[in-house]
Structure 1
């Protein structure tokens, strides 16, 4: 396969990542329509959690068998995108039953494990230096892909809810084909052909990896719960002043602006370092959690701005923590480490989402989201705790 430049590879991976991850929240964007058809209006937590649980299972499977490191990552990305798109389409091909929907969304999440972390692995194989900036664009594409279904819904194009699934599946197939056919393995890729049953326990001993992962876990406790419930938060704060389409468009803006902040944070990391950018964003989003308690008392012209700032900060740390994860392990284990940390991070997110749904019985949505501050608090503390000692070469596992 013809060799391409790192810049060209990054552009193609970013496009493919955006197209592939549009599958992620496709179910959330149309959950109200599906809920009306099924006579069950409270589907958002279940649909979100099904994808998250699928992603957790998929990333653990991919990490346990070291799939991103043992096989060409472009092939893994391509076939995962095809399978995820197929599972997404099954929602409209199978009888409309909640059990089928949840199974299909689970499978979408499972095969997204071969898109998101593997896309970061491919980028890491092209960038020995400047990885924070590269992953800033890449994770930014994930954020935009996540927000995209809200944009489609908000534009009120009179599409059937089924069209959302057709469109996102087609986009994922295109994205997988871009990487599969046009992005060869990067020059810094070091394949690890061996299956090592002890690899995951050995990786868990690396202090620098535990430090980066801890910050990422604190970030993940907050991120997807905020994204999942931001439409409900907007509706609550607007006091029925916004239409459903306006809520969808504002939700898109709040989530999508995080894609821009990921890219900007990536550029800043080249000068300030990934650690400073990540901690600034994590602490800032934690402060936004505290501000959430007083949002109903803030003038109506100000709270959308605060939510946009929250959307900026809540996403910007993700690519920088992933950069620190990638840099904490030898090259031949990058794919496995990224996938493993993703698996654990999303496991935390599913607990957070379900816990948030439970808290809604006792608290208003702004208060519930305000309590997410425990994620950033513990993330910062553990990041500092494990980061006190510099990584030693003897910490690195052997093949």
Structure 2
């Protein structure tokens, strides 16, 4: 396969390393925040409301993100989202004792961790041989979800070893690798195929 397709896939895999582990474990993190801070509302209300807001803002991010990516370029948009989401994974654990800040960071993380997903599918479609687009997308999705299962399984092990303060930092490996892969992709000549040159 072309280098550009491989780099797009590598970046997607880094994104998937972070995404589903975040979705699966952020409710448990918010429960832990509640147990430490007792913010004056029930634990069920705090973590269920928090989880709901994480997903709602993620959905809004997808809608708005598509328009922004069309304007500034797919790879550029994804790099920005990955920088923000990766940064959140590094800092959120330090706010275990601040219910408001932890929830706010979780929402920002939810907002920025999702919108790059559709851009990867679009990039693969634009960069692949038209005869093999379906196969290329199937490979991308299959390996991406397989990788996400590994990070979902590993994250609680890391948390048990390091505690919540440092546990989510483990996910930052994904965005870092994804950003590196996108930078490599931008240097490929056929990256001009992305969004008719608006890469």
**Please, what TM-score do these two structures have when normalized by structure 2?**
0.86
Q: What is the CA deviation profile of residues 57-82 of structure 1, one whole-angstrom value per residue up to 9, with x for unaligned ones?
A: xxxxxxxxxxxxxxxxxxxxxxxxxx
Tell me whether 233-242 or 370-379 shows the greater mean CA deviation: 233-242
Unaligned runs of 5+ in 1: 1-204, 393-399
Residues 245/300 of structure 1: CA separation in 2 closer, same or farther (3 Å cut): closer
Tell me whether 299-308 or 243-252 shows the greater mean CA deviation: 243-252
The alpha carbon displacement at 1:293 in A equals 3.2
| CA distance in structure 2 between the aligned counterparts of 1:292 and 1:245, rounded to whole angstroms | 20
Larger radius of gyration: 1
Unaligned runs of 5+ in 2: 192-199
Match of 2:109 in 1: 310
Does the Cα contact within 8 Å between 1:212 and 1:322 map onto a contact in 2? no
Match of 1:235 in 2: 31
Aligned residues: 187
Match of 1:328 in 2: 127
The alpha carbon displacement at 1:386 in A equals 4.3
The alpha carbon displacement at 1:294 in A equals 1.3
1:389 aligned onto 2:188: yes
Match of 1:209 in 2: 5
The alpha carbon displacement at 1:247 in A equals 1.7
Match of 2:196 in 1: none
The alpha carbon displacement at 1:334 in A equals 1.8
Equivalent residue of 2:160, what SS?
coil
The alpha carbon displacement at 1:213 in A equals 1.0
Match of 1:356 in 2: 155
| CA distance in structure 2 between the aligned counterparts of 1:339 and 1:387, rounded to whole angstroms | 23
Match of 1:289 in 2: 89
Match of 1:250 in 2: 50
Match of 1:39 in 2: none
Tell me which of 212, 216, 219 is aligned to 2:15: 219
Tell me which of 138, 142, 145 is aligned to 1:339: 138
Q: What is the CA deviation profile of residues 15-69 of structure 1, one whole-angstrom value per residue up to 9, with x for unaligned ones?
A: xxxxxxxxxxxxxxxxxxxxxxxxxxxxxxxxxxxxxxxxxxxxxxxxxxxxxxx
| CA distance in structure 2 between the aligned counterparts of 1:256 and 1:245, rounded to whole angstroms | 16
| CA distance in structure 2 between the aligned counterparts of 1:274 and 1:385, rounded to whole angstroms | 14
Tell me which of 359, 373, 378 is aligned to 2:177: 378
Q: By percentage of residues, which structure has more helix?
A: 2
More relative contact order, 1 or 2 (CA 8 Å, 6+ apart): 2
The alpha carbon displacement at 1:331 in A equals 2.7
| CA distance in structure 1 between the aligned counterparts of 2:63 and 2:115, rounded to whole angstroms | 8
Match of 1:279 in 2: 79
Q: What is the CA deviation profile of residues 312-360 of structure 1, one whole-angstrom value per residue up to 9, with x for unaligned ones?
A: 0111111112211111113332222111101111111111111112213
Equivalent residue of 1:356, what SS?
helix
1:1-399 pair list within 5 angstroms:
205-239=1-35, 241=38, 242-297=42-97, 299-391=98-190
